[in-house]
């Protein structure tokens, strides 16, 4: 192994500007330009790449050792949510402006900034000539369902990797898990009638509201976990009816439930259906599955957690308190399906993500590279 390399801040900043300028909004989806920038950037440094998935929405696996795998993968996603109306932004969402130590733009913290930091980490790690390979994964379509991570899991190309660092923005705190998710649809079927004679029909909107209230007021079984906390359940959308003077014959609502330990999407859905039946609604109300993932939790005594805490303390001077994410990440796929135990740690704040004038603090951006290198060197030293 050669001596430690210094972070090239100019190279990092230039790459992040290029990534922000390359729109990868999802919807509509399309990360190819971002993927090309990353691939060209790293291949120019002699780092190999394997692409998995369709060419317009690729998932890239970069290796410091020409395709070999080691015990550790660091990863982030290339897509972003839409920028929305530009008049809501003070800074151009695709310009990468730097003001008062912050770079602004869509994806600055979620998560083109973290991905750029991982890129710099891999370059420096490769220059240090470690014996142990380091992998960096960049995925597509995380924002609308983690389908890129699913393709990676199905490919088997990360089989044998034990640990992962997900670089989602945590203000460089260390998270050891995330809540799961269950999106469900409540469909109520009534009978149409003239609005002047409502007693002749069955109002599907009223029926749907009553059914939703049964579900949101109910209690669902779970296992206590001080870091994951309690589950949440909220009504996200409701739509029904065709005209003000017609008793509505159909109404549909969508529920967003964030799951914790001991909750599996399929079993919660079955509990919902039982509660609807017990309330006497099953003849006219159905509960359908839309999307779901189990909660993810890494034990705080796992090596990846301890090393991540040590790394942040070494670089930032303060040991962070462990926490968990309320939002979803690719860990929800890579942990249960591949068996990779994760810590989540990245520059920037989730409070800035998905907002106008999204930004990343440059001090965190640069410090994250030193944190990631500390983690990677630890696992390399065990070879």
**pTM metric for this prediction:** 0.91
| pLDDT tens digits, one per residue of 304-314 | 999 999 999 99
Taken in order of first residue, the domains within the chain and their CATH numbers are 9-178+295-380 (3.40.630.10), 180-293 (3.30.70.360)
Confidence at residue 81, expressed as pLDDT on a 0 to 100 scale: 97
pLDDT of residue 183: 96
In this predicted model, what pLDDT tens digit does every residue of 357-378 receive, in sequence order? 999 999 999 999 999 999 999 9
Percent of the residues in the chain that have a pLDDT greater than 90, as a whole number: 96
Query: How far is Cα 18 from Cα 191, in angstroms, rounded to an integer?
Result: 56
| pLDDT tens, residue by residue, 34-56 | 999 999 999 999 999 999 999 99
**What is the pLDDT, as a whole number, of residue 381?**
86
pLDDT, position 127: 96
Q: What is the pLDDT of residue 383?
A: 60
Contact 175, 343 (CB under 8 A): yes
d(C-alpha 276, C-alpha 283), whole Å:
9
Mean pLDDT over 337-350 rounds to 97
| Whether the predicted pLDDT of 235 surpasses 70 | yes
- How sure is the predictor about 5, in pLDDT bands with cuts at 50, 70 and 90? confident
- Name 303's Cβ contacts closer than 8 Å, sequence gap at least 6: 163
Average model confidence (pLDDT) across the chain: 96
pLDDT at 382 exceeding the cut of 80: no
Mean pLDDT of 105-121: 98
Q: Quick one: pLDDT at residue 338? A: 97
Q: What is the pLDDT of residues 249-303, one digit of tens each?
A: 999 999 999 999 999 999 999 999 999 999 999 999 999 999 999 999 999 999 9
Banded pLDDT at 1 (limits 50, 70, 90):
low
């Amino acid at each position: 192994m050669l001596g430690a390399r210094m972070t090239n801040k100019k190279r990092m900043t230039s790459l992040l500007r290029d990534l922000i300028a390359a729109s990868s909004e999802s919807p509509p989806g399309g990360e190819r330009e971002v993927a090309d920038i990353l691939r060209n950037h790293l291949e120019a440094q002699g780092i190999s790449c394997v692409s998995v998935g369709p060419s317009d929405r690729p998932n890239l696996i970069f290796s410091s050792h020409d395709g070999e795998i080691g015990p550790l993968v660091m990863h982030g996603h290339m897509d972003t949510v839409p920028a929305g109306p530009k008049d809501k932004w003070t800074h151009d969402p695709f310009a990468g402006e730097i003001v008062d130590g912050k770079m602004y733009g869509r994806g600055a913290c979620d998560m083109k900034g973290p991905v750029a930091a991982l890129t710099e980490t891999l370059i420096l790690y490769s220059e240090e000539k470690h014996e142990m390979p380091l992998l960096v994964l960049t995925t597509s379509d995380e924002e609308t369902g983690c389908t890129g991570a699913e393709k990676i899991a199905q490919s088997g190309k990360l089989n044998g990797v034990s640990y992962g660092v997900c670089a989602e923005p945590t203000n460089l705190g260390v998270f050891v898990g995330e809540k799961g998710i269950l999106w469900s649809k409540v469909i109520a079927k009534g009978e149409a009638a003239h609005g002047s004679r409502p007693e002749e029909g069955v109002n599907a909107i009223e029926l749907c509201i009553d059914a939703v209230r049964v579900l949101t007021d109910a209690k669902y079984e779970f296992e206590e976990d001080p870091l994951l906390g309690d589950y949440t359940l909220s009504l996200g959308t409701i739509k029904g009816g065709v005209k003000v003077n017609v008793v509505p014959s159909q109404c549909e609502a969508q529920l967003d439930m964030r799951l914790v330990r001991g909750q599996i999407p399929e079993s919660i859905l079955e509990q919902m259906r039982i509660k609807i039946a017990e309330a006497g609604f099953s003849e006219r109300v159905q509960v359908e599955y839309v999307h779901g993932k189990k909660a993810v939790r890494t034990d705080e005594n796992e090596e990846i957690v301890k090393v991540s805490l040590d790394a942040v303390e070494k670089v930032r001077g303060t040991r962070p308190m462990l926490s968990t994410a309320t939002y979803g990440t690719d860990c929800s796929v890579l942990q249960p399906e591949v068996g990779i135990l994760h810590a989540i740690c990245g520059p920037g704040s989730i409070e800035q993500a998905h907002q106008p004038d999204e930004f990343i603090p440059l001090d965190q951006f640069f410090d994250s590279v030193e944190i990631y290198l500390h983690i990677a060197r630890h696992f390399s030293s065990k070879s």
